[in-house]
C-alpha cells in the first residue's frame, strides 16, 4: 500500500478509483488492474488508507442487504459513501445509515432516484 501519512498543499490529490475490494479476490484484482488502483484484501484496510476519500458501494453481484453494513463501516471510518439503489432493504436499515452519516460525518444523507 502506498498511502502517504498526510496531504499537504504540495501533495497532488488523485481523483478517481484508488482502491478496490470485493469479497472475492478475482474481481478485486481485475478492477484494480483496470483502473491502476490498489487491491485490498479487506474493506477495513481500504478504509484505513488516507487516499480513499469516499466509498462507492456498487451492486455488482452484491446482495443489497450488505449495503448498510459497508456504509456503516465507512461512516465510522469517516469516509463518505455513495450507494447504489436500493440503499437498504428496509426502513430500519436505511435509518441506521442516515443516522450514521449525521453522527460520524456531520452530513445529510441524500439520495437521487431515476423515477
pLDDT tens digits, one per residue of 2-13:
444 454 556 665
Tell me whether residue 113 is in a domain.
Answer: no
12 vs 1, higher pLDDT: 12
Q: The domain that contains 38 carries what CATH number?
A: 3.40.50.720
Neighbours of 57 (CB within 10 A): 20
Query: Does the pLDDT at position 61 exceed 50?
Result: no
Tell me whether residue 11 is in a domain.
Answer: no
pTM: 0.69
- Which three cell numbers, joined as nine digits, stand for 18? 484508488
- What percent of the chain is predicted at pLDDT more than 90? 11
Tell me whether residue 112 is in a domain.
Answer: no
Name the phi and psi angles at 68, rounded to 5.
-60, -40
Tell me whether residue 14 is in a domain.
Answer: no
Q: What is the pLDDT of residue 84?
A: 76
- Which three cell numbers, joined as nine digits, stand for 95? 435509518
Tell me whether residue 6 is in a domain.
Answer: no
Tell me whether residue 2 is in a domain.
Answer: no
pLDDT tens digits, one per residue of 76-113:
988 888 877 778 889 999 899 989 988 988 876 666 66
Note down the domain range covering 55: 19-105
Amino acid at each position: 500500500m502506498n498511502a502517504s501519512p498526510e496531504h499537504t498543499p504540495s501533495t497532488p490529490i488523485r481523483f478517481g478509483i484508488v482502491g478496490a475490494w470485493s469479497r472475492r479476490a478475482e474481481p478485486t484484482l481485475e478492477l484494480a488492474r483496470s483502473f491502476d488502483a490498489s487491491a485490498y484484501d479487506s474493506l477495513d484496510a481500504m478504509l484505513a488508507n488516507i487516499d480513499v476519500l469516499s466509498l462507492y458501494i456498487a451492486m455488482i453481484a452484491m446482495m443489497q442487504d450488505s449495503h448498510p453494513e459497508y456504509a456503516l463501516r465507512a461512516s465510522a471510518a469517516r469516509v463518505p459513501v455513495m450507494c447504489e439503489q436500493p440503499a437498504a432493504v428496509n426502513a430500519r436499515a436505511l435509518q441506521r445509515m442516515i443516522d450514521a452519516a449525521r453522527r460520524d460525518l456531520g452530513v445529510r444523507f441524500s439520495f437521487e432516484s431515476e423515477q
